[in-house]
Amino acid sequence: MKKRMLRELSIRFCRPSHLYSMNPFSRVAPLKKSFHLLTLTAVFVALYGCNSTPKPVAAEAAPEKGVAATVNGEAIDLSDFHEHTDLKQTAQVITPQGPTQTHVIGNFGLQSLQELVDQKVLLQLAKEQGVLPTDSDIDNEIKLQTDLRHDYITILQDQGLSQKGIRHEIAIGLARQNLMMKGVDVSADEVNDFVKKHPERFSDPARATIYFIQASTPQKKAQVDKELAAHKLFTAVASSLSEEPNAKSTGGLYATSIVSMMPPKVQEIVNKTAVKQVSSWIPNAGTFVKFYVESKIPAKPKPASDSQKEMVRRLIGMQKGQVKNNFTKMFYDKLKASKVEVSVPQLQDQWKKTWDQMSDPNNGTPSGR
């Protein structure tokens, strides 16, 4: 059987927009439901193990001038910063068990270069197929996404994206979407049927304002219980006694009020605990957590908006397009036929190895399914 090596191709509609609950039962919570943002990814050629070691470069490039930071008056050169970033092979990530360090495929420099090459090829392919997004298309997309979420632009800017970067990310997502949906028709009846079958996706979500206190020892738990038994405000006790790092400033306020964005354990606690009541202590990764439910608002059904229906139309169209157009194979063929010349010295050998393995027919071709 032919060997197939796959890597994840990150052609994104926008950068991942996530909200993190610091504690407890940490979980990544999506910005909105699936119709509000399309996170566009596809599966492609993967070529590096976690512990790959880059080869020495043949020639040294001229040092980059500038300072990335200073530490007690001593400079970290910009060239050192970029070299370290390019070759970095580990990253800190958020998992359900909390922050942890893990290996990346290849290194940050190689992954970034692969993504930028992927994006360039994608835009070139969209232009060839006559579906390259225009400035007007991008303006309309911003209006659509802002209608779905009023702070859409603010969230992306908070992640470090400039206006130019936001427009570029949107162009990438629209280009991929247009290629997948080329020649695909979606009727109003199909959209309305989907909305009718999934009313919960268009409701105002159930919400709950909750607070929590974290304690790691029996002594701390007893101290908290004593303060609460004396009828002290839960938020005041959280500010003074909780071991959660942000509790002093937040009063223990939970990171999100949308119940569906909370981890299942927390959702269960919210459902079982009456308003203005305190839960029992809940074990959590070596510590204990106690919740206070201040308020609950049930989900409220409402008609799907025109913007939400447009996102449904796209979802159905992309599902059809996966069968009709086989986007992954179309992209893969374009990528393999492209001429890519790498100018970053420390990435040249790694890129050549990646490219040679991708071009090897024994590695197979993704089917796009």
Q: Express each pLDDT in 304-316 by its tens digit.
A: 999 999 999 999 9
Q: Are residues 30 and 134 in the same domain?
A: yes
Q: What pLDDT was estimated at residue 97? A: 55
Q: Are residues 269 and 352 in the same domain?
A: no
CA distance 315 to 323: 13
| Residue 44 in domain | yes
CA distance 282 to 23: 12
Please tell me which residue, 181 or 5, carries the higher pLDDT value.
181
Q: Are residues 31 and 154 in the same domain?
A: yes
Q: Are residues 58 and 110 in the same domain?
A: yes
What tens digit of pLDDT does each residue of 171-216 get?
A: 999 999 999 999 999 999 999 999 999 988 888 899 999 999 999 9
113 touches 351 (CB < 8 A): yes
How far is the CA of 246 from the CAs of 21, 270, 288, in angstroms?
A: 11, 21, 16
Strand, helix or coil for residue 263? coil
What's the whole-number mean pLDDT along residues 243-256? Answer: 92
314 touches 38 (CB < 8 A): yes
Q: Are residues 292 and 329 in the same domain?
A: no
CA distance 63 to 85: 15
Last residue of a domain, one of 260, 280, 297: 297
Q: Are residues 168 and 215 in the same domain?
A: no
Please tell me which residue, 258 or 24, carries the higher pLDDT value.
258
Band of the pLDDT at 347, cuts 50, 70, 90? confident
Residue 282 has pLDDT above 70, yes or no: yes
Q: Nearest-CA neighbor of 368 among 50, 3, 2, 4?
A: 4
CA dihedral 173, 174, 176, 180 (to 10 degrees): 130
Average per-residue pLDDT for the chain: 80
Please tell me which residue, 100 or 4, carries the higher pLDDT value.
100
CA distance 82 to 61: 12
| Residue 48 in domain | yes
Please tell me which residue, 7 or 298, carries the higher pLDDT value.
298
Question: Structural domain of residue 223, as residue ranges?
Answer: 204-297
Please tell me which residue, 153 or 69, carries the higher pLDDT value.
153
| Residue 45 in domain | yes
Q: Are residues 249 and 348 in the same domain?
A: no
CA distance 175 to 257: 34
Band of the pLDDT at 98, cuts 50, 70, 90? low
Please tell me which residue, 3 or 151, carries the higher pLDDT value.
151
| Residue 30 in domain | yes
Please tell me which residue, 73 or 136, carries the higher pLDDT value.
136
Q: What pLDDT was estimated at residue 96? A: 56
| Residue 315 in domain | no
Of the listed ranges 116-125, 234-243, 352-361, the least confidently predicted one is 352-361
Amino acid occupying residue 293: V
For 18, phi then psi, to 5°, come to -125, 150
Which CATH number goes with the domain that contains 227? 3.10.50.40
CA distance 364 to 5: 8
What tens digit of pLDDT does each residue of 335-346 get?
A: 989 989 888 888
Q: Are residues 118 and 48 in the same domain?
A: yes
Q: Are residues 152 and 12 in the same domain?
A: yes
CA distance 99 to 285: 12
Amino acid occupying residue 214: Q
Band of the pLDDT at 100, cuts 50, 70, 90? confident
Q: Are residues 211 and 75 in the same domain?
A: no
Band of the pLDDT at 146, cuts 50, 70, 90? very high
* Structural domain count, the chain: 2
Q: What pLDDT was estimated at residue 214? A: 95
